[in-house]
Amino acid sequence: MAKKEFKYRGKTLQELLSLSLEEFIELIPSRQRRTIQRMMKGAEDNPQLKLYKAIKKALAKGQKDSIRTHVRDFVILPEMVGMTIMVHNGKEFVRLDVKDKMVGHLLGEFALTRKMITHSSPGIGATKSTKFVSVRA
Protein backbone atom coordinates (compact mmCIF):
# COMPACT_ATOMS: atom_id res chain seq x y z
CA MET A 1 0.00 0.00 0.00
CA ALA A 2 1.42 3.39 -1.00
CA LYS A 3 2.13 5.95 1.69
CA LYS A 4 -0.31 8.84 1.64
CA GLU A 5 1.28 12.16 0.76
CA PHE A 6 1.07 14.88 3.41
CA LYS A 7 -1.12 17.86 2.59
CA TYR A 8 -1.99 20.87 4.70
CA ARG A 9 -5.13 22.66 3.54
CA GLY A 10 -4.71 21.06 0.11
CA LYS A 11 -1.05 22.02 -0.31
CA THR A 12 1.93 19.66 -0.27
CA LEU A 13 5.02 20.35 1.83
CA GLN A 14 6.93 21.59 -1.23
CA GLU A 15 4.15 24.05 -2.04
CA LEU A 16 4.12 25.23 1.59
CA LEU A 17 7.87 25.78 1.51
CA SER A 18 7.54 27.93 -1.60
CA LEU A 19 4.98 30.23 0.12
CA SER A 20 6.05 33.39 1.90
CA LEU A 21 5.22 33.77 5.59
CA GLU A 22 2.33 36.13 4.75
CA GLU A 23 0.84 33.60 2.31
CA PHE A 24 1.24 30.79 4.86
CA ILE A 25 -0.49 32.89 7.52
CA GLU A 26 -3.64 32.95 5.38
CA LEU A 27 -3.84 29.13 5.49
CA ILE A 28 -3.60 28.56 9.25
CA PRO A 29 -6.38 28.97 11.84
CA SER A 30 -7.03 32.38 13.37
CA ARG A 31 -5.34 31.75 16.73
CA GLN A 32 -2.07 30.72 15.11
CA ARG A 33 -2.42 33.53 12.56
CA ARG A 34 -2.75 36.14 15.28
CA THR A 35 0.19 34.68 17.18
CA ILE A 36 2.46 34.98 14.14
CA GLN A 37 1.21 38.48 13.33
CA ARG A 38 1.91 39.56 16.92
CA MET A 39 5.36 37.99 16.69
CA MET A 40 6.22 39.92 13.51
CA LYS A 41 4.99 43.26 14.88
CA GLY A 42 6.54 42.73 18.31
CA ALA A 43 9.56 44.29 19.92
CA GLU A 44 13.07 42.87 19.60
CA ASP A 45 12.85 41.25 23.05
CA ASN A 46 9.79 39.19 22.02
CA PRO A 47 10.64 35.50 22.75
CA GLN A 48 8.81 34.24 19.64
CA LEU A 49 10.72 36.66 17.42
CA LYS A 50 14.04 35.61 19.01
CA LEU A 51 13.24 31.95 18.34
CA TYR A 52 12.18 32.73 14.76
CA LYS A 53 15.48 34.52 14.13
CA ALA A 54 17.43 31.62 15.70
CA ILE A 55 15.62 29.16 13.41
CA LYS A 56 16.30 31.29 10.34
CA LYS A 57 19.97 31.59 11.35
CA ALA A 58 20.28 27.83 11.84
CA LEU A 59 18.62 27.13 8.49
CA ALA A 60 20.91 29.62 6.74
CA LYS A 61 23.92 27.73 8.14
CA GLY A 62 22.36 24.43 7.10
CA GLN A 63 22.11 23.22 10.68
CA LYS A 64 19.18 21.03 11.62
CA ASP A 65 20.44 20.22 15.09
CA SER A 66 18.74 21.19 18.30
CA ILE A 67 17.72 24.67 19.35
CA ARG A 68 16.78 24.93 23.01
CA THR A 69 13.77 27.05 23.89
CA HIS A 70 11.23 27.80 26.60
CA VAL A 71 8.79 29.21 24.03
CA ARG A 72 5.97 26.67 23.94
CA ASP A 73 3.46 28.82 22.04
CA PHE A 74 5.49 29.08 18.85
CA VAL A 75 3.67 27.94 15.70
CA ILE A 76 5.49 25.22 13.73
CA LEU A 77 6.30 26.59 10.28
CA PRO A 78 6.91 24.51 7.12
CA GLU A 79 10.63 25.42 7.00
CA MET A 80 11.07 23.86 10.46
CA VAL A 81 10.28 20.35 9.14
CA GLY A 82 13.27 18.10 9.74
CA MET A 83 14.73 20.24 12.53
CA THR A 84 15.31 19.09 16.09
CA ILE A 85 14.08 21.50 18.74
CA MET A 86 14.46 21.06 22.48
CA VAL A 87 11.29 22.39 24.16
CA HIS A 88 11.14 22.95 27.92
CA ASN A 89 8.26 21.19 29.66
CA GLY A 90 8.72 22.86 33.05
CA LYS A 91 11.29 20.39 34.35
CA GLU A 92 13.56 19.44 31.47
CA PHE A 93 14.04 19.91 27.76
CA VAL A 94 12.11 17.45 25.60
CA ARG A 95 13.60 16.53 22.23
CA LEU A 96 11.16 17.29 19.42
CA ASP A 97 11.87 16.10 15.89
CA VAL A 98 9.62 18.26 13.71
CA LYS A 99 7.63 16.22 11.18
CA ASP A 100 5.44 17.44 8.34
CA LYS A 101 2.20 16.60 10.17
CA MET A 102 3.12 19.05 12.95
CA VAL A 103 2.86 22.12 10.69
CA GLY A 104 0.42 24.69 12.09
CA HIS A 105 0.49 23.27 15.63
CA LEU A 106 2.26 24.76 18.64
CA LEU A 107 5.57 23.46 20.02
CA GLY A 108 4.05 22.97 23.48
CA GLU A 109 1.51 20.48 22.16
CA PHE A 110 4.30 17.95 21.64
CA ALA A 111 6.24 18.52 24.88
CA LEU A 112 3.88 17.21 27.54
CA THR A 113 4.08 18.81 30.99
CA ARG A 114 2.57 15.90 32.91
CA LYS A 115 3.53 12.25 32.99
CA MET A 116 1.09 9.38 33.01
CA ILE A 117 0.97 7.82 36.46
CA THR A 118 0.50 4.08 36.75
CA HIS A 119 -0.24 2.57 40.12
CA SER A 120 0.52 -0.97 41.13
CA SER A 121 -1.74 -3.13 43.25
CA PRO A 122 -2.44 -1.94 46.81
CA GLY A 123 -0.13 -3.06 49.57
CA ILE A 124 -0.81 -5.70 52.19
CA GLY A 125 -3.25 -4.40 54.79
CA ALA A 126 -4.44 -1.52 52.61
CA THR A 127 -7.88 -2.98 51.99
CA LYS A 128 -9.82 -6.11 52.86
CA SER A 129 -9.37 -7.40 49.34
CA THR A 130 -5.61 -7.56 49.74
CA LYS A 131 -5.81 -10.42 52.21
CA PHE A 132 -6.16 -12.66 49.16
CA VAL A 133 -3.07 -11.21 47.43
CA SER A 134 -0.16 -13.56 47.95
CA VAL A 135 3.30 -12.08 48.32
CA ARG A 136 6.19 -14.19 47.10
CA ALA A 137 9.76 -13.23 47.70
Give the structural domain span for 17: 7-117
Confidence of residue 118 (pLDDT cuts 50, 70, 90): confident
Strand partners, 69: 87
Residues 72-76, mean pLDDT to the nearest whole number: 94
Among the residue ranges 53-62, 64-73, 127-136, the one predicted with the least confidence is: 127-136
Residues 118-122, mean pLDDT to the nearest whole number: 73
In a domain, 64, yes or no: yes
In a domain, 124, yes or no: no
Domain count, the chain: 1
Q: Is the pTM of this model over 0.95?
A: no
In a domain, 100, yes or no: yes
Residues 81-98, mean pLDDT to the nearest whole number: 94
In a domain, 60, yes or no: yes
